[in-house]
């Protein structure tokens, strides 16, 4: 059993390289770890709910991959703490060796003082030695010398005692660091075991999905058609808005100035926008990616997808005007909000609480999502600048 555990721990250190700088403090590590553990606990609840709801295997796979990603971060965090403790132990061991050498040297000097015939003689008859002085000057000289000798002896004794205390303190620090290391290694091993279990679950899901490849291909084609319909609907609304803007710009130069102000307001918030939902995970990334189970197949995403553990409100990410509210097959209700020359798209809403032409403030509710037939709530979010699609994740503050 011990050999198996040792092998597992060794495997951990080989498999995962440290991804944080060595300058990171223990406090920063603990704060980072608490955030990761919170994410794992949150995703664990989502996994339990997802499993009990008998949802599509693809949704379960995405949730499981998020969980595994968080667990790998936690393992890296724990590994780095082990490295910190090893550095503490190594530094203190070197310091102890230096202190011991100094301690032995002082003890040797001190013992020589105690063994000196001069010290023996004056310790046996201190007053006799003083009173045997030939004159007052010699008596004073002997008195001063004896005082200096006693001060020097006490100084050496105190230095030895101080070094003894330092050695004890360093040994205690080493003991504490070793105990912490053992505890961290144990936690690491538990997380590696959990990761192995999750990997087996993932492999089982992928295997099952591979068997359903024909059905998946059909579902994928259907999703692509629905996504293309969504794309066309968005473009249609944006093109109509751009046409209106051009007509207004021809009539009134002030519209151009207003547009420039609106653009600068939105563009300056890159990296500072809040999520349109208060909880959940990003389970679909922007861009083109390999399909998780079907080989040689790529899937394209014009935005990002949020998966929520339960339904909830969807809010506007920035001040703007509602320019479109429509229903798209496969994406339920879609709302498009204009922010100057930028547009945010919210789809898969089960209901909308805004209407076309309405002005909205940042954080204002625009609708809601609820659990679908697959047992989870989803929101599809896109960001456009005129007719160019942008990666929304670069604009959020987390």
What is the value of pTM for the model shown?
Answer: 0.48
331 shares a domain with 200: no
Note whether residue 225 is domain-resident: no
- Report pLDDT for 107: 76
- The string of DSSP codes covering 74-132 is HHHHHHHHHHHHHHHHHHHHHHHHHHHHHHHHHHHHHHHHHH-HHHHHHHH-HHHHHHT
Distance CA 71, CA 65 (A): 10
Which is it for the CA torsion 322, 328, 333, 334, positive or negative? negative
Distance CA 265, CA 256 (A): 14
207 shares a domain with 251: no
- Ranges of beta strands (E only) in the chain are 281-284, 287-290, 298-301, 304-308, 312-315, 320-328, 332-339, 342-349, 351-352, 359-360, 365-369, 377-385, 388-390
Distance CA 77, CA 36 (A): 9
Note whether residue 227 is domain-resident: no
Q: What are 150's two structure tokens?
A: 């006693």
146 shares a domain with 46: yes
199 shares a domain with 270: no
Q: Residue 378: helix, strand or coil by DSSP?
A: strand
Distance CA 61, CA 281 (A): 13
- Report pLDDT for 314: 93
271 shares a domain with 165: no
332 shares a domain with 185: no
Note whether residue 216 is domain-resident: no
> CB neighbours of 282 closer than 8 A, spacing ≥ 6?
304, 305, 306, 307, 393
Q: Which of these three, 153, 184, 211, is where a domain ends? A: 211
- Report pLDDT for 319: 92
- Report pLDDT for 6: 47
Q: Are 289 and 237 in contact (CB under 8 A)?
A: no
Q: Which of these three, 211, 234, 267, is where a domain ends? A: 211
The count of structural domains within the chain is 2
- Report pLDDT for 275: 93
Note whether residue 193 is domain-resident: yes
- Report pLDDT for 31: 72
* C-alpha distance across the termini of the chain, in Å: 42
* Residue labelled with tokens 């045997």: 132
CA distances from 79 to 194, 341, 383 (A): 16, 47, 38
Note whether residue 236 is domain-resident: no
Distance CA 241, CA 52 (A): 45
Distance CA 151, CA 167 (A): 24
Note whether residue 218 is domain-resident: no
Residue count of the chain, please give it.
398
163 shares a domain with 46: yes
- Report pLDDT for 196: 85
- Maximum distance among all Cα pairs of the chain, rounded to whole angstroms: 121
145 shares a domain with 69: yes
Note whether residue 221 is domain-resident: no
CATH of the domain at 294: 2.70.70.10
Distance CA 73, CA 39 (A): 11
CATH of the domain at 141: 1.20.1260
Q: Which of these three, 194, 211, 228, is where a domain ends? A: 211
**Which helix or strand (DSSP H or E) is residue 28 part of?**
helix 26-52
298 shares a domain with 194: no
294 shares a domain with 158: no
The parent domain of residue 184 ranges over 1-211
52 shares a domain with 152: yes
Q: What are 342's two structure tokens?
A: 């930028």
Helices 136-211, 2-15: crossing angle, 10 deg rounding = 90
266 shares a domain with 140: no
Q: What are 329's two structure tokens?
A: 């097959």
Q: Tens-of-pLDDT digits for all 398 residues of the chain?
A: 444 444 444 444 434 433 444 445 667 767 776 777 777 666 666 556 545 444 466 677 777 787 888 888 888 888 888 888 788 788 878 887 877 777 777 777 767 766 664 555 555 566 666 666 677 777 677 667 666 767 777 777 777 788 788 878 888 888 888 888 888 888 888 888 888 888 888 888 777 766 655 665 666 666 667 667 766 777 777 777 776 766 555 555 555 555 544 554 888 888 889 899 988 888 888 887 776 655 666 777 889 999 887 778 999 999 999 998 988 888 888 999 999 889 999 999 988 999 998 999 999 999 998 776 666 788 999 999 988 889 999 999 86
Note whether residue 239 is domain-resident: no
- The string of DSSP codes covering 143-182 is HHHHHHHHHHHHHHHHHHHHHHHHHHHHHHHHHHHHHHHH
């Amino acid at each position: 059993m011990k050999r198996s555990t040792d092998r597992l721990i060794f495997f951990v250190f080989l498999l995962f390289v440290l991804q944080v700088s060595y300058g990171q403090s223990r406090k920063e590590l603990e704060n980072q770890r608490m955030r990761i553990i919170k994410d794992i606990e949150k995703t664990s609840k989502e996994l339990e709910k997802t499993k009990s709801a008998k949802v599509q295997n693809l949704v379960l796979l995405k949730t499981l991959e998020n969980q595994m990603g968080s667990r790998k971060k936690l393992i890296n965090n724990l590994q780095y703490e082990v490295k910190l403790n090893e550095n503490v132990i190594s530094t203190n061991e070197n310091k102890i060796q230096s202190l011991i050498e100094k301690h032995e040297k002082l003890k040797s000097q001190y013992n020589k003082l105690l063994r000196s015939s001069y010290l023996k003689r004056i310790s046996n008859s201190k007053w006799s030695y003083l009173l045997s002085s030939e004159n007052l000057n010699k008596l004073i000289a002997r008195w001063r010398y004896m005082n200096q000798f006693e001060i020097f002896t006490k100084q050496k004794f105190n230095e030895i005692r101080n070094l003894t205390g330092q050695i004890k303190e360093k040994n205690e620090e080493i003991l504490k660091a070793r105990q912490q290391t053992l505890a961290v290694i144990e936690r690491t091993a538990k997380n590696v075991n959990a990761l192995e279990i999750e990997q087996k679950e993932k492999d089982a899901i992928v295997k099952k999905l591979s068997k359903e490849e024909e059905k998946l291909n059909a579902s994928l084609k259907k999703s692509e058609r629905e996504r293309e319909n969504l794309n066309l609907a968005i473009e249609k609304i944006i093109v109509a808005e751009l046409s209106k803007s051009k007509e207004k710009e021809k009539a009134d130069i002030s519209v151009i100035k207003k547009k420039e102000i609106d653009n600068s307001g939105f563009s300056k918030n890159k990296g500072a926008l809040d999520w349109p939902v208060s909880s959940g995970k990003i389970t679909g990334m922007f861009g083109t990616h390999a399909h998780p189970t079907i080989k040689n197949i790529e899937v394209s995403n014009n935005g990002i997808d949020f998966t929520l553990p339960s339904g909830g409100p969807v809010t506007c990410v920035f001040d703007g005007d509602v320019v479109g509210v429509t229903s798209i097959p496969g994406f339920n209700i879609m709302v498009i909000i204009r922010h100057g020359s930028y547009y945010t798209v919210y789809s898969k809403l089960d209901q909308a609480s805004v209407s076309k032409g309405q002005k909205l403030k940042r954080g204002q509710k625009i609708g809601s999502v609820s659990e679908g037939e697959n047992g989870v709530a989803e929101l599809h979010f896109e960001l456009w600048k005129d007719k160019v699609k942008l990666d929304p994740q670069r604009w959020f503050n987390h």
